Amino acid sequence: MQRIDRTFMAVVTNGALCALLFAGLVSASTAQQQDGQSSQTIAAAGSDEGATEGAPGSDAAAQAAAADAIAQKLSNPVAALISVPIQINYDDNYGPTDKGSVWRTNIQPVIPISLNDDWNMISRTIIPVVKQSDVPLPGISESGMGDIVQSLFFSPKKPTAGGLIWGVGPVLNLPTSTKESLGPDAWAAGPTGLVLKQSGPWTYGALANHIWSFAKEDKTEINASFVQPFVSYITPKKLTYYLNTESTYNWETKDWSVPINFGANQLMKVGNQIMQVGGGLRYWAESSEFGPEGWGVRLNIIFVFPK
């Protein structure tokens, strides 16, 4: 099992690094072209996403609108867009000697389900694959899967009169950790919700949830609040800059974990597959006693499946 875990993590990590390098090459090439040319690469699979916009009879305008619609939806956590984000995080300075490090790959499929003419249900799942070294103590290294987090958002299909987009629903923590040190391995549940607004190239809002453990046989008690304010900006070339925090307050230990993330993701098309590739840095403004410190790295690749 450990050999499989190590092989899987190596494939995921190396694949992400190659994707990031490829994204940089494509982005550099794209920057030398006209805005309309970068949008045209997205249109073949997504032209229905915004074809009503732009000048009548103008293919370039329709293609640009299609690409813009996809980029806008990727900035909206409750958009009606099927996607599979793969997020790879590296953090270090863990443990009592600050020698520990963690690779965490989050596979996060997003599936929208139309309930009726007015409402969608958006399923967002986080499946963590973890490889950690010298955590929780020096000399201990393990890898495997952590607890899966499943969220369901019930969201109106149209924004409010003031332009707000929102969704609410339940969130569930599933005890799927393959080893004790990789997650709390506990049943927990609670409410989740978000609100955001999109204005031109800007998207800003916040997501929050709170979960409590409810199974008496669980080894770990969970009583935690999560808050994620976010803002993003989409350039004419469909390069999305983002800034957010993913703050968690643990009511059991009375401490905060506050990573601040910033970076950029480029929308592109490889063959017939639309994707968004990029990455950035994060800084731990606050963490638990033996949690990470200083700077970390995040790589992103999102596979997009427009209607």
Residues 113-151 pLDDT 10s: 999 999 999 999 999 999 999 998 888 899 999 999 999
Q: State the virtual CA torsion across 243, 274, 125, 192 in degrees, nearest 10.
A: 50
Which residues face 154 on adjacent strands?
121, 168
CA 306 to chain centroid: 18
pLDDT for residue 229:
98
- 35-46 vs 59-74: helix crossing angle, rounded to 10: 80
Question: Which comes out higher in pLDDT, residue 164 or 46?
Answer: 164
Q: Tell me how far CA of residue 51 lies from CA of 57, 58, 67, 235, in angstroms.
A: 10, 10, 10, 19
| Number of Cβ within a 10 Å radius of residue 80 | 15
Domains of the chain (ranges, CATH numbers) = 2-305 (2.40.160.40)
Q: Which residues pair with 273 in a beta bridge?
A: 270
Calculate mean pLDDT across residues 241-248: 98
Q: What is the structure's pLDDT at 280?
A: 98
Task: Mean pLDDT check: name the lowest of 28-37, 60-69, 252-261, 278-287.
Answer: 28-37
* Backbone dihedral angles phi then psi of residue 9, each to the nearest 5 degrees: -65, -40
* 269 and 41 Cβ atoms separated by less than 8 Å: yes
Contact 94, 78 (CB under 8 A): no
DSSP symbol at 180: G
| 95 or 245, higher pLDDT | 245
Distance between CA atoms of residues 209 and 246, nearest Å: 11
Q: Hey, is 181 helix, strand or coil?
A: helix
Amino acid at 218: D
Q: What is the pLDDT of residue 8?
A: 40
**pLDDT over 50 at 208, yes or no:** yes
Beta strands in the chain (DSSP E): 82-94, 100-107, 110-114, 119-133, 141-145, 148-156, 164-174, 188-199, 202-213, 223-234, 239-245, 247-250, 255-270, 273-286, 294-305
Spatial separation of the C-alpha atoms in residues 128 and 104, rounded to whole Å: 6
Instruction: Confirm if 278 and 76 have CB atoms less than 8 A apart.
Output: no
Q: CA 37 to CA 35: how far, in whole Å?
A: 6
Q: 3-state DSSP call for residue 102?
A: strand
pLDDT exceeds cutoff 60 at 282:
yes
SS3 label, residue 141: strand
pLDDT at 58 over 50: yes
Tokens 């800003």 — which residue?
204
Give me the count of residues in the chain.
Answer: 307
